[in-house]
């Protein structure tokens, strides 16, 4: 999987950071499928600088309805259609997202040539998908804001190739069938059960992406033992009072959540435009004093895992 940060700013864009949007690209088994988390203004423009394709976009998860997280959504939906997208697309988000989409598409007379489904999420909702289970929990922000925990389902174990070779089974079509757990009849009449030649199932990865939030218990619950936690860090620790007043987090807030939740990697985003140049490095240093394996996302950064 890859995380593509299309926008890492907060509130308003700056020359260094566009408004919020993160793409999760699935590789190998998932054939390049794409999920999008938030869709700030100019998200589709940012995508032009990447290898991402709107035709691969399957799901969009909106954390909350502030403009810097949704003003790019009508454009993305329309361009996906204009570029020949035909496959279904599902948008998840807080109550009101359906009304926003319908109003903007209707007023602009934008007609989609693919099935669009809109799901308004609630606190505690669990979305069971073929490859993942997505857990939704409400955070603490000025308006309703959610975090999403993507837990990849267990994958089939590796084929025990050495064991097959020991009993004289050469590579070929039988290997593919056995890896699927199927029963195979060999040319010599022997019947093999695929379950006997596949190792234990492999645990999937867990990625957590939070919307705007103050420090709250649900952020920690969602992040528990995650491989990657994406957490807002709108303000430096010296601006803690402002952060609290505006329902946001500091770098240290995010790092403390990562520590308590035992995550493997923390990625900071949603950085206020007041921090430019060298100040961005200070944000990272500040967080790393609390949680060493912290990274500060910049626009168009890609994290592979």
- Is 68 labeled as ligand-binding? yes
According to the annotation, is 270 in a ligand binding site?
yes
CA distance 239 to 245: 10
Helical (H) or strand (E) element with 190: none
294 forms bridges with which residues in the sheet?
266
CA dist., res. 91 & res. 170, Å (int): 47
**64 carries a ligand binding annotation:** yes
Asked whether residue 212 is marked as a ligand-binding residue, the answer is yes
> What DSSP string runs through 3-18?
EEEEE-B-SS--SS-P
Residues making up the chain, counted from first to last: 305
Yes or no: say if 294 and 268 are a contact pair by the CB < 8 Å rule. Answer: yes
231 marked among binding-site residues: no
CA distances from 93 to 64, 82, 235 (A): 7, 24, 25
* Strand partners of residue 97: none
* Catalytic residue from among 68, 227, 239, 299: 68
Distance CA 214, CA 134 (A): 22
Nearest Cα to Cα of residue 234 among 209, 257, 211: 211
Which residue in the block uniquely carries the two structure tokens 């308006």?
143
* Cα–Cα distance, 168 to 182 (Å, whole number): 18
Is residue 68 part of the annotated active site? The answer reads yes
Annotated binding-site ranges: 64, 66, 68-69, 141, 212, 270
Active site residues: 68
Annotated binding-site ranges for Zn(2+): 64, 66, 68-69, 141, 212, 270
């Amino acid at each position: 999987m890859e995380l593509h940060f299309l926008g890492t700013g907060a509130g308003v864009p700056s020359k260094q950071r566009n408004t919020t949007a993160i793409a999760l690209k699935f590789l190998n088994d998932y054939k390049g499928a794409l999920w999008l988390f938030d869709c700030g203004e100019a998200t589709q423009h940012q995508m032009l600088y990447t290898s991402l394709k709107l035709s691969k976009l399957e799901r969009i998860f909106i954390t909350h309805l502030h403009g810097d997280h949704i003003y790019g959504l009508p454009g993305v939906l329309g361009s996906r259609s204009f570029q020949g997208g035909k496959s279904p697309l599902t948008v998840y988000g807080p109550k009101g997202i359906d009304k926003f989409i319908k109003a903007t598409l209707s007023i602009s007379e934008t007609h989609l040539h693919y099935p669009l489904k809109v799901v308004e999420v609630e606190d505690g909702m669990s979305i069971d998908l073929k490859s993942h289970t997505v857990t939704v929990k409400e955070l603490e922000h000025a308006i309703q804001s959610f975090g999403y925990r993507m837990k990849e389902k267990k994958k089939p174990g590796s084929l025990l190739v050495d064991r097959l070779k020991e009993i004289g089974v050469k590579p070929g079509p039988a290997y593919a069938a056995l890896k699927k757990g199927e029963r195979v009849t060999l040319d010599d009449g022997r019947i093999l059960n695929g379950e006997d030649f596949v190792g234990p199932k492999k645990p999937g990865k867990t990625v957590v992406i939070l919307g705007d939030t103050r420090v709250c218990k649900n952020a920690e619950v969602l992040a528990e033992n995650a491989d990657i936690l994406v957490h807002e860090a709108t303000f430096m620790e010296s601006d803690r009072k402002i952060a609290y007043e505006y329902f946001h987090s500091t770098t240290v807030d995010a790092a403390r959540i990562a520590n308590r939740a035992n995550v493997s990697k923390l990625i900071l985003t949603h950085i206020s435009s007041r921090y430019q140049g060298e100040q961005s490095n200070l944000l990272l240093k500040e967080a790393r004093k609390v949680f060493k394996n912290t990274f500060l996302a910049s626009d168009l950064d890609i994290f592979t895992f």
